[in-house]
Structure 1
Amino acid sequence: MDASYKSRKEAFVSNLAGGSALEINAVTLVAPASVFLWSVLQSRLSLFTPYGPVALITDFLLNVLAILFATTLYSSAPWLLNILLVSPALLVLLNSRPRRSQQKANPRHAAAAQDGSGGLPSLPIHPFLTTYRAAMMIITCIAILAVDFRVFPRRFAKAENWGTSLMDLGVGSFVFSGGVVSARSVIKDRRSGAPAKKTLVSRFASSMRHSVPLLVLGLIRLFSVKNLDYAEHVTEYGVHWNFFFTLGFLPPFVEIFEGLATFIPSYEILSLAVAVLYQVALESTELKSYILVSPRGTDLLSKNREGVFSFLGYLAIFLAGRAAGIRILPGDPSPSIAPQQAKKRVLSSLAAQALGCTALFALNSTYFFGYGANIPVSRRLANMPYVLWVAAFNNSQLFLFCLIEAVFFPSANRTSGTEKDKEAERTAFATSRILKAFNRGGLVVFLLANLLTGAVNLTVPTLDVSDTQGMAILIGYAAVITGIALGLDKANIKLSL
Structure 2
Amino acid sequence: MDPNYKARKEAFVSNLMGSSIWEINSVTLVASTSVLLWSALQSRLSFFTPDGPAALVTDFLLNVLAILFATTAYSSAPLLLNIFLASPALFLLLNQPRPRAQKAKPPRKAAQDDSSQDPTALPVHPFLTTYRAAMMIVTCVAILAVDFRVFPRRFAKVENWGTSLMDLGVGSFVFSAGVVSARAVLKSRRSQSPGRALPARLIGSARHSIPLLVLGLIRLYSVKGLDYAEHVTEYGVHWNFFFTLGLLPPFVELFDSLTALIPSYEVLALGVAVLYQVALESTDLKGYILVSPRGPDFLSKNREGIFSFLGYFAIFLAGRGVGIRIMPRGTSPSKSPQQARKSLLVSLALQIAFWSILFYFNSTYAMGYGANIIVSRRLANMPYVLWVSAFNSAQLFLFCLTETVFFPTVHRATTKEDEAERTTFATSRILRAFNRGGLGIFLVANLLTGAVNLAIPTLDVNTPQAMAILVAYAAVLTAIALGMDKANIKLAL
Q: State TM-score, norm by structure 1.
A: 0.96
Cα drift, residue 412 of structure 1: 1.3
Matching residue of 1:183: 182
Q: Please give the residue correspondences for 1:419-438 in structure 2 after superposition, counting only pairs within 5 Å.
A: 419-438=415-434
Which SS does the other structure have where 2:115 is aligned? Answer: coil
Are the aligned partners of 1:64 and 1:138 in contact in 2 as well (CA < 8 Å)? yes
**Alignment partner, residue 134 of structure 1:** 133
CA contact (8 A) 1:183 1:322 kept: yes
Please tell me the residue identity of whatever aligns with 1:320: A
For residues 74 and 349 of structure 1, the distance between their equivalents in structure 2, rounded to whole angstroms, comes to: 34
Q: Deviations over 1:67-113 (max 9, x none)?
A: 0000001101000000000111122223311123331788x999985
Question: Are the equivalent residues in 2 in contact too, given 1:124–1:330 (CA < 8 A)?
Answer: yes
Change (3 A) 1:156 1:383: same
Q: Do residues 350 (structure 1) and 341 (structure 2) align?
A: no
- CA-atom RMSD in angstroms: 1.7
Residue 125 of structure 1 aligns to a residue whose secondary structure is coil
Q: C-alpha displacement at 1:121, in angstroms?
A: 3.6
CA contact (8 A) 1:237 1:243 kept: yes
CA distance in 2, matches of 1:112, 1:213: 39
| Rounded Cα–Cα distance in structure 2 between residues aligned with 1:469 and 1:94 | 40
Cross-structure match for 1:103: 104
Q: Deviations over 1:309-347 (max 9, x none)?
A: 000000000000000000010121423321111111111
Distance in 2, matches of 1:110 and 1:180, equals: 30
Distance 2:111 2:309 in 1: 40
What whole-Å deviation, never above 9, does each CA across 1:250-295 have from its counterpart, x for those lacking one? Answer: 0110012211001111101100000000000000000000000000
Matches within 5 A, 1:215-226: 215-226=213-224
Matching residue of 1:379: 377
Q: What secondary structure does 1:17 align onto?
A: coil
- CA contact 2:331–2:340 (8 Å) conserved in 1: no
Match of 2:368 in 1: 370
Equivalent-residue separation in structure 2 for 1:327 and 1:93 (angstroms): 29
Using the alignment, how far apart are the partners of 2:430 and 2:396 within structure 1?
A: 18
Distance 1:180 1:357 in 2: 16
Where do residues 294-443 of structure 1 align in structure 2 (5 Å cutoff)?
A: 294-413=292-411, 415-416=413-414, 419-443=415-439
**Which digits, 9 at most, give the CA deviation of each residue in 1:380-435, with x for residues without a partner?**
0000000000000000000000000011111213533xx21121111000000000
Where has structure 1 moved over 4 Å in runs of 4 or more?
Answer: 108-113
**Does residue 446 in structure 1 map to residue 442 in structure 2?**
yes
2:172 aligned counterpart, secondary structure: helix
Q: Would the aligned equivalents of 1:113 and 1:121 in 2 still touch at CA under 8 Å? A: no
Letter in 2 for 1:148: D
CA offset digits 1:334-362 (Å, max 9, x no partner): 23321111111111001100111111001
Distance 1:398 1:237 in 2: 28
Mapping 1:147-158, distance limit 5 Å: 147-158=146-157
Question: What one-letter code is carried by the residue in structure 2 that aligns with 1:493?
Answer: I
Query: Distance between the aligned counterparts of 2:426 and 2:484, measured in 1?
Result: 20
Q: Partners of 2:113 and 2:267 in 1: how far apart?
A: 32
Whether the 8 Å CA contact 2:16–2:157 is kept in 1: the answer is yes
Q: Indicate which of 462, 467, 470 corresponds to 1:471.
A: 467
- Equivalent residue for 1:46? 46
Q: For residues 250 and 105 of structure 1, do their structure 2 counterparts lie closer, same or farther at Cα, with a shift above 3 Å needed?
A: farther
Q: Distance in 2 between the 1:52 and 1:415 partners? A: 26
Contact 1:241–1:307 (8 Å) recurs in 2 = yes
* Secondary structure, counterpart of 1:283 in structure 2: helix
Matched with 2:115 is 114
Structure 2 distance, partners of 1:393, 1:85, is: 21
**Shift, 1:23, TM fit:** 0.3
How far apart are the structure 2 equivalents of 1:368 and 1:177? 29
Q: Secondary structure of the equivalent of 1:197? A: coil
- Cα distance in structure 2, aligned partners of 1:342 and 1:212: 38
The 8 Å contact of residues 142 and 478 in structure 1, kept in 2 or not, is answered as: yes
Distance 1:112 1:257, change over 3 A: farther
The 1-side partners of 2:454 and 2:98 are apart by 50
The answer for the alignment partner of 2:453 in structure 1 is: 457
Report the counterpart of residue 285 of structure 1 in structure 2: 283
Separation of aligned partners in 2, 1:257 and 1:333: 30
TM (norm. structure 2) is 0.97
Distance 1:333 1:299 in 2: 55
1:491 maps to which of 473, 487, 492: 487
Equivalent of 2:477 in 471, 474, 481: 481
User: Please, which of 270, 273, 276 is the counterpart of residue 272 of structure 1?
Assistant: 270
- Structure 1 segments unaligned to the other structure (5+ residues): none
Q: Secondary structure at the match of 1:175?
A: helix
What is the match of residue 2 of structure 1?
A: 2
- Residues 466 and 185 (structure 1 numbering): CA distance in 2 closer, same or farther, change over 3 Å? same
Aligned to 2:68: 68
* Counterpart amino acid of residue 256 in structure 1: L
Residues of 2 paired with 1:56 and 1:237: CA distance? 38
d(CA) in 2 for partners of 1:331, 1:264: 24
Taking the aligned partners of 1:335 and 1:182, their CA distance within structure 2 comes to 28
Distance across 2 between alignment mates of 1:104 and 1:342: 18
